[in-house]
Structure 1
Amino acid sequence: MDAPKEAQPTGEFTCQLCGLTAPYMYYGQKPPNTRSIVLLEEGYVMKDPFTPDKDKFLILGSHCSLCSRSVCVGTECSLFYSKRFCLPCVNENLKAFPLEIQEDMDKRKSQQKSFPCKKMDTRT
């Protein structure tokens, strides 16, 4: 019996918003070596480099269901609400999303505005 082969990267995923790049092993909904896991979206998947367990994987990103651009799963780039949406598309179509999503986006905007302006407290 042959030993299972180590999965080799099939390509490189690039987020079109933040520029994150990473090699991916699989694109789809049923990552290899996962018994009964089915993802809710077709996504780019890589082997988890932080564990020797080959059944572990990381989801890198997917395509925005509105504009089709590749986006990572980072909260600064996209959100998943039954489908993957990039934040520019969410902001353009915010009224079409449920109130909870609208409120979450409002919180994100206020945090982004206050974060860069925060100054370190230099008092001693």
Structure 2
Amino acid sequence: MDSRKEAQPKGDFECQLCGLTAPYSYYGQKPPNTHSVVLLEESYVMKDPFVPDKDKFLILGSQCSLCNRRVCVGTECSLFYSKRFCLPCVNENLQEFPLEIRQDLDKRKSHSKSHPSKKTDART
């Protein structure tokens, strides 16, 4: 009986940057049915729909620790460095991050320029 209740979505998570929308079933640091998993941040979580194991879950996103936007965990929307940061806040505060993080962001930018986004409309 409880397993049905846990599978029920609590609401819809929506990334405020890319618009990704998915139903989430839990918000917090210790997803249900996990024995020793504690997440490093308060996260929006859903049961993994691709596996029958109820202990498996997907992390959809979290809130930016600076501006409180809901952002997905996608590399084009946020990064985790001890806390979750949306990329606009990262770019505004770039000098506050370690050199390794800045170099990683530079690699991402050059990679995305050499591989155009798949979001373009192929019909035109």
TM-score when normalising by structure 2: 0.88
Q: Give the letter for the 1:62 counterpart.
A: S
Q: CA deviation at 1:68?
A: 0.4
The 1:97/1:5 distance shift into structure 2, 3 A limit, reads same
TM-superposed CA distance for 1:69, in Å, is 0.1
Q: Which residue does 1:122 correspond to in 2?
A: none
Please name the residue that 2:78 is paired with: 78
The question of 1:103 aligning with 2:107 is answered: no
Tell me, in whole angstroms, the C-alpha distance in 2 between the residues paired with 1:36 and 1:105: 32
- Deviation beyond 3 Å, 4+ runs, structure 1: none
- Where structure 2 has 5 or more consecutive residues not aligned to the other structure, the ranges are 118-124
Query: Given residue 48 of structure 2, which amino acid in structure 1 is its aligned partner?
Result: D
Matched residues, number: 115
Query: Is residue 57 from structure 1 mapped to residue 60 from structure 2 by the alignment?
Result: no
State how far apart, in whole Å, the 2-side matches of 1:54 and 1:111 are: 36
Question: What is the CA–CA distance in structure 1 between the aligned matches of 2:20 and 2:48, rounded to whole Å?
Answer: 16
The Cα of 1:109 is off from its aligned counterpart by 1.5
1:114 counterpart residue number: 114
Using the TM superposition, give the Cα deviation of residue 102 of structure 1 relative to its aligned residue in structure 2, in angstroms: 0.5
In the alignment, the residues of structure 1 paired with residue 3 and residue 52 of structure 2 have an alpha-carbon distance, to the nearest angstrom, of 14
Q: Distance in 2 between matches of 1:78 and 1:25?
A: 21
Match of 1:12?
A: 12
Identity %: 78
**How big is the alpha-carbon RMSD for the aligned residues of Structure 1 and Structure 2?**
1.3
> CA offsets per residue over residues 19-50 of structure 1, 9 Å max, x none?
00000000000101101110000000000000
Amino acid in the other structure paired with 2:15 = C
Pairwise CA distance, 1:106 = 1.0
TM-score normalized with structure 1 length: 0.88
| C-alpha distance in 1 between matches for 2:26 and 2:116 | 37
Give the secondary structure class of the aligned counterpart of 1:55: coil
1: CA distance between counterparts of 2:46 and 2:78? 19
Cross-structure match for 2:87: 87
Letter in 1 for 2:11: G
Within a 5 Å distance, the mapping from 1:24-39 to structure 2 comes to: 24-39=24-39
